[in-house]
A = this chain, B = another copy of it.
Amino acid sequence: MSRYRAHPTAIVESASIGDGTTIWAFAHVMKGASIGKDCNIGDHCFVEPGVSIGDGCVIKNGNMLWEGVTLEGGVFVGPHVFFTNDLYPRSRHLPEAASRYAGRKDWLAKTRVKRGASLGAGAVILADLTIGEFAMVAAGAVVTKDVPAHALVLGNPARARGWVCRCGRVLRFSKGKASCACSLRWKSAKHGIENIR
């Protein structure tokens, strides 16, 4: 039996919720959504069938996770982040567009957020893309393409502006090397950064 906690006002319809997870007030987790262990799902969140959330994720309040969204372990989703799953949405009740939606799912575009990444408050994440491990999406950024591991991206559209450590701190590189306050050391590499033992 799963031992998770849910606020009395939360609606939890999924049977797949890990031990130690807490679901807060006015949140709604639909049947067919999967949530790992030791997660926080904040007030007013909504989790749709088909969503997969790994262990140890913090989902701040007001987030809506749509079918097609996968979060790996240890992901931070700031307040009110905007996920999407349709690159050119229309009302499915609009006669001119209904054929795109009736009995088919090729409109569905997926998003994967890899282990340890952080999405800042109000970031907009377009679909059909991947946010790399330990990446940091700044608050208010509009992400339109893949984000490399450890990259800091910001702005509208979001552009890479630096690199962050596993702990989240921005790294200052000098001659291709950086030391973080958390004690980890890094060097520039061909497609990003590499940890130095």
Interface residues, chain A, with chain B CB atoms under 8 Å away: 9, 11, 25-26, 28, 38-40, 42-44, 46, 55-58, 60-62, 64, 66, 73-76, 78-80, 82-84, 88-97, 99-100, 116, 118, 120-122, 124, 126, 134, 136, 139-140, 142, 155-157, 164, 166-170, 182
> Given A58-B93, A88-B168, A121-B124, 16 more contacts at CB 8 Å?
A38-B93, A61-B64, A64-B80, A74-B90, A74-B93, A78-B89, A82-B121, A82-B139, A83-B121, A84-B121, A89-B120, A96-B116, A97-B168, A124-B139, A124-B140, A140-B156
Known interface pairs A74-B93, A120-B84. Does A168 touch B100 (Cβ–Cβ under 8 Å)?
A: yes
Chain B residue at minimal CB-CB distance from A25:
B28
The answer to whether A88 touches B170, judged by C-beta atoms less than 8 angstroms apart, is: yes
Task: Determine the main DSSP class of A at the interface with B.
Answer: loop
The answer to whether B78 touches A84, judged by C-beta atoms less than 8 angstroms apart, is: yes
